[in-house]
Chain A
Amino acid sequence: MNRIIEFENITKEFKILNRREGLKGSIKDLVSKNYSVIRAVNDISLSIGKGEIVGYLGPNGAGKSTTIKMMTGVLEPTSGTIAVNGKIPYKNRCQNARNIGVVFGQRTQLWWALPMIESLKILKDIYQVSDEAYKSQLALYESIINVKPLYNKTVREMSLGQRTLCDILAAFLHNPSVIFLDEPTIGLDVSMKSKIRHLIKELNARQKTTVILTTHDIGDVDALCERIIIIDKGSMIYDDTAGNLKKYFGAYRTLKLKIKGEYILSDIIQALELRFLNQTSMVVRTSEEWISILSKEDEAPIMEILMFMQGFILINDIKIEEINTEDIIKKIYEGNI
C-alpha cells in the first residue's frame, strides 16, 4: 500500500521556563536560565496508508496536537525521522502545505467577511487548482450535500455547523493526499454531526484521501474510523483496527440492575468489593433507578455477579450491555487496562 505518513521513533521535547510566583518572581524570570525539558511525544512510530481514515485519540494534553503539528510541518521533531508524501514536512512547510488540508473544529480558515464561493475561488488560486479540477470538485460536493445555498453566504453569517461543513469542503478543494480534521463535530447538533460524518466518509471514499481525525466524540470514531491510534502522555498505547479494540481489551460487559426498595449504594459497592476483591477493573455507577456494574468477563463473570447480588437484594429488572467504544477508551485513559 501507498504510504502517506511515516513516523520513525519520533520524539519531541519542549524547553519550558520554570516560572516563579509573584511580581518579583516574574522579574527574575526575565533573566532566568532555569528551564526544564518536557517530553510531549515519546518515541512514536507509525505508518499511515493511502485512503485510510484514522481515529487519532488521546486525552487532553496527550500530545495529539504536537504530533499533528509535526505532520503539518509547523514543528520540527527533536529526534526521529518523519515523512509525509515521502518528503520531510518541516524542511519545507509551504511545499508540504500544498499536499495537505487542515480543519480545526472551531477556528475557521475561510475569509470571515467573504461569501463562501469567493473564499473557494481564492483558495483555487492559492493552490493553483486548474479550472476543470475546480469545476469537477464543486460538482462532487453538490452531489454529496446540498451546498449551493451556502455559496453566497459569508462565513460570518453561517452557523457553526455550516461553517465546519464549508471548512471541510475548502480543505478538500485542492484534492490533498491527507486531511487533518481536529474535532470536526465539536459543538454541533446531532443532525449536523451525521451530515459532516457522511461528507467526510463520501469524500474519503471517492477521492481516496487519507483522513487523520482527532476527536473526543466516540460517535465520530464509530461512524468513520477503521483504524484507531491512541496516545497518552506522549506514548502510543494502541494502534489497531477499531473492531479489535473491544477484543483487545477483553470482553467487558455492563450489568444493569433495577432494585426493589431502598438501598445504599456504598453498601452495595462494599459488598461487591469484598466478594470480587481482585477486580480492579470493575466500575459501579448509578443512573436514575438503575445500578450499572461494568466488569471484565474472565475476571468476574456477569452471571456470578448477578447470583451474588440476588443473595442480598431484590432485583426487579435486569439488562446486560456490551461495552461501547466510549467506555473502553475511558478505561484506557484512566489507565485501568
Chain B
Amino acid sequence: MMKQGFRYYLKIYGKILVQNIKSKMSYRADFFISLIGIIFVNLSGFITFWIIFKNVPSLLNWSYYEMLFLYGFSLIALTPVQCFFDNNWNLLTYVFSGDFIKYCFKPLNLFFYYISEIFDIKGIGQLVVGITVLSYSWTNLGLDFSLIILVKLIIALVSASLFMISITNFAAASSFYILNSAYFVMMLSNKFKDYAKYPITIFGGALRIIFTFIIPIAFMAYYPSLAFLSNKEATFLTYFTPVYGITFFYLSYKFWMFGAMKYNGTGS
C-alpha cells in the first residue's frame, strides 16, 4: 500500500467519494428517505432507552445523562463504519459468487479498492442524531468545553470508531476462510455494537474480559468516555484506547488481506 504513496491513495479516494456523493444526491428521493429513515431508526432506539431510564433512575451509579452520553458517543463512533466500510457487508456475496476476483486486477491495494467502492450516506443521519444526543447530555451534565477538550474528544471518537471498523473487517474477512458460516459471524458482530452503549461494569467478570480484550466493544464508548465524565475515574485503558484502536485495526487489515490473498476465486 505504501509503495504508491499515501497521497496517491488519498487523491483517488477523494475522487471516488465525491463522485459517490454526487450520484447519491442525484437520486434525491432515495437520499432523503434513507436519511430520514436512519434518523427514525436511531430515534426509536433512543425512545426505548428513554423509557427504560424513566423506570430505572440509575444503573450502577450511572445517571440518565451519563448513559445518554455513552449512547451519543457510540452513535458518533459508529458513523465511520456505516459510511466508509459498508462494502464489507457485501464481501460474503462477492466471495461466494467469485466476483471478488475483479478487485485483483487493478494496480491498487485490495482492501483500499474494495472498501472505497461504496460510500453509504445514511451514516450522516446517525451522525446528526449522535451529535444532538451527545451535546444534550453534555450540557445537562454541566461539563466544561474548550478547544483542547474538543481535540481530545475527536481523538477519542476516531480511536473508538476504529474498533467497530476492525470488528467488521474481521467478521467480513471470515468469509474468505469459512464461507458457509460467515453470515452468522457477520450478524453476531453487528449485535455487539448494541452492547457498546452500556457501561462495561454491568457485565460479569468473564464477559468483561472478553469485551475488553478479545471483542473490544468496551472501547467503542465506555473507556474513552471516562475521560470526559466529571465524576468518573479515567483508567489506564482510557488512554490506551488510541494505541489499541490502531493495533486492532492493523490486525484486522492483515487478517483481511491475508484472506484475500489466500482466496483464489471460483472457476468461471
Residues of A within 8 A of B (CB): 14, 60-61, 65-66, 69, 72-75, 93-95, 97-98, 100, 102, 104, 107, 109, 111, 113-115, 118, 121-122, 125-127, 154, 182
Contacts and interface: CB of A to CB of B under 8 A. Distances in A.
Nearest to A26: B180
Contact of A126 (B102, B108, B268): B108
Interface string B94-116: 00000101101111110000000
Contact of B15 (A73, A93, A97, A121): A121
Given A75-B264, A94-B3, A125-B15, A107 B99 contact: yes
A97 B107 contact: yes
B105 A65 contact: no
Most buried by A among B15, B19, B105, B117: B105
B185 interface: no
Main secondary structure of the interface of B (DSSP, over half): helix
A163 to B, nearest CB: 13
B17 to A, nearest CB: 11
Nearest to B268: A65
23 contacts: A14-B264, A72-B104, A74-B105, A74-B264, A74-B265, A94-B3, A94-B107, A94-B108, A98-B107, A104-B102, A107-B99, A107-B102, A109-B105, A111-B16, A111-B117, A113-B20, A113-B23, A114-B19, A115-B23, A118-B19, A121-B15, A122-B15, A126-B108
Contact of B106 (A95, A97, A114): A97
A75 B262 CA distance: 9
Contacts, number: 70
Interface of B: 3-4, 11-12, 15-16, 19-20, 23-24, 99, 101-102, 104-109, 117, 264-265, 267-268
A125 B267 contact: no
B15 A100 contact: no
A65 B107 contact: no
Contact of B267 (A65, A104, A118): A65
B268 A104 contact: yes
Given A111-B16, A121-B15, A72 B4 contact: no
Given A94-B3, A154-B23, A69 B101 contact: yes
Given A107-B102, A113-B20, A122-B15, A69 B264 contact: yes
A73 to B, nearest CB: 8
Nearest to B14: A125
A284 B265 CA distance: 40
A109 B105 CA distance: 9
Contact of B105 (A97, A115, A154): A97
Given A107-B99, A182-B268, A125 B107 contact: no
Contacts of B104: 72-74, 93, 97
Contacts of A14: 264
Given A72-B104, A94-B3, 16 more contacts: A66-B267, A75-B264, A94-B4, A97-B106, A100-B105, A102-B102, A107-B99, A111-B19, A111-B20, A113-B20, A115-B23, A122-B12, A122-B15, A126-B107, A126-B108, A154-B23
Nearest to A119: B19
Contacts of B105: 72, 74, 97, 100, 102, 109
B106 A126 contact: yes
Contacts of B102: 102, 104, 107, 109
A61 B106 CA distance: 25
Given A61-B267, A69-B101, A74-B264, A122 B107 contact: no
A182 B265 CA distance: 15
A177 to B, nearest CB: 14
Contacts of B106: 97, 109, 126
B264 A125 contact: no
